[in-house]
Amino acid sequence: MFAVTASQTDPDNPLAGLTLGEHPEPQVPDGWTTVTVRATALNHHDLWTLKGVGIKQDRLPIVLGCDAAGVDADGNEVIVHSVIGSGADETLDPKRSLLSEVHDGTFADMVAVPRRNLVPKPAALSFEEAACLPTAWLTAYRMLFDKAGLEPGSTVLVQGAGGGVATALIALGRAGGYRVWATSRSAAKREQAAKLGADRVFEPGARLPERVDAVMETVGQATWDHSLKSLKPGGRIVVCGATSGAVPPADLNRVFFLQLSVIGSTMGTRDQLQRLAVFLEQTGLRPVIDRTMPLTDARDGFAALAEGDIFGKIVFTR
């Protein structure tokens, strides 16, 4: 079968290890099944794997990709939940992994997954739209509707509009009844964020008209100080990533004096993915897709993600 794999890692030149070509079909352990992939979405996780982050060298070569929508062995249209783990909340399993970390991922004609990781794809969603959900949109859903602890009408600041999680946060927040503010270094991306549903857009570090109830933090070190200073007393920062650095000054005096909460969030559960799919079906909300291209052109998609010149998701089709 055709697949896109990481054959080596290089932190300075990640695309050097990107290999496109024939790969053995997946083996199917007991309790697992196969999905014929119709669409799959690109994430920063895939780029980090090529840089050597979160992958053991003895796992190489490994098929990249966390997200997929396709058809299972019984002919059902499904969405693939990428978290391989056990328990009521598989994200808390200390032995959990994502597809493409221990097991081959979704950038292939076919992927093997545990049967319990399959979620029915609503007929109203295209395969391309559904493929955007398992990583970026599920992460945003959990941050907003689980970890943030907010009621509709609350004000949320989304740092770094443009990436997959940030665009999902804006769209979901608007659909969920929150007042959403967003920041971006790019004037064009600020304009796109406003069109997507952000009530107000700002340059990074800008003084806000008022303090917010919660900050959705995906950037990390570059925006951390602004995130802390933007919160009301008792407010929350929900953190799902740190693309600009993971060790900012903590400013603990501000944290304890204003009784701020810093909450980590990683991916989401299979049940949350199913509810997210239903939420989109019921509201008519759809993922923002920056571009769609054949999986055979994956190198171009990786290059665009590495350059940061995107707004929304890059989707590969088969």
Residue closest to 226 by CA, chosen among 209, 206, 241, 212: 206
Residue in this structure with the two tokens 């978290």, named with its chain if needed: 83
What is the pLDDT, as a whole number, of residue 281?
Answer: 97
Beta bridge partners of 215: 157, 237
Residue closest to 83 by CA, chosen among 276, 256, 267: 267
Query: Cα torsion for 180, 136, 282, 117, to the nearest 10°?
Result: -150
Give 93: exposed, middle or buried? Use CB within 10 Å, 0-12, 13-18, 19+.
middle
Alpha carbons 233 and 305: distance in angstroms, whole number: 36
- Record the pTM: 0.95
- Is residue 10 within 8 A of residue 16, CB to CB? The reply is yes
One-character DSSP codes across 185-228: S-HHHHHHHHHHT-SEEE-TTPPPSS-EEEEEESS-TTTHHHHH
Beta bridge partners of 262: 237
Alpha carbons 5 and 65: distance in angstroms, whole number: 9
Alpha carbons 140 and 312: distance in angstroms, whole number: 13
Alpha carbons 164 and 274: distance in angstroms, whole number: 19
Q: Is the dihedral of CA 66, 34, 114, 58 positive or negative?
A: negative
Residue in this structure with the two tokens 């790019």, named with its chain if needed: 186
Per-residue pLDDT tens over the stretch 38-76: 999 999 999 999 999 999 899 999 999 999 999 999 999
Alpha carbons 10 and 289: distance in angstroms, whole number: 28
**Percentage of residues in the chain having pLDDT higher than 90:** 93
Alpha carbons 295 and 316: distance in angstroms, whole number: 5
Per-residue pLDDT tens over the stretch 139-193: 999 999 999 999 999 999 999 998 889 999 999 999 999 999 999 999 999 999 9
Beta bridge partners of 314: 291
For each of the domains in the chain, give its residue range(s) and CATH number, in order of start.
2-132+287-317 (3.90.180.10), 137-264 (3.40.50.720)
One-character DSSP codes across 223-278: THHHHHHTEEEEEEEEE---TT-S-----HHHHHHTT-EEEE--S--HHHHHHHHH
Please report, in tens digits, the pLDDT of each residue of the chain (318 residues total): 999 999 999 999 999 999 999 999 999 999 999 999 999 999 999 999 999 999 989 999 999 999 999 999 999 999 999 999 999 899 999 999 999 999 999 999 999 999 999 999 999 999 999 999 999 999 999 999 999 999 999 999 999 998 889 999 999 999 999 999 999 999 999 999 999 999 999 999 999 999 999 999 999 899 999 999 999 999 999 999 888 888 888 899 999 999 999 999 999 999 999 999 999 999 999 999 999 999 999 999 999 999 988 899 999 999
Q: Going by C-beta distance under 8 Å and a sequence separation of 6 or more, which residues neighbour residue 94?
A: none
What is the pLDDT, as a whole number, of residue 96?
Answer: 96
Give the tokens for residue 23.
């790969």
Residue 51, amino acid: K
Give the tokens for residue 225.
């100080």
Residue 267, amino acid: M
Q: How far is CA 18 from CA 25, 59, 113, 212, in A?
A: 19, 15, 23, 42
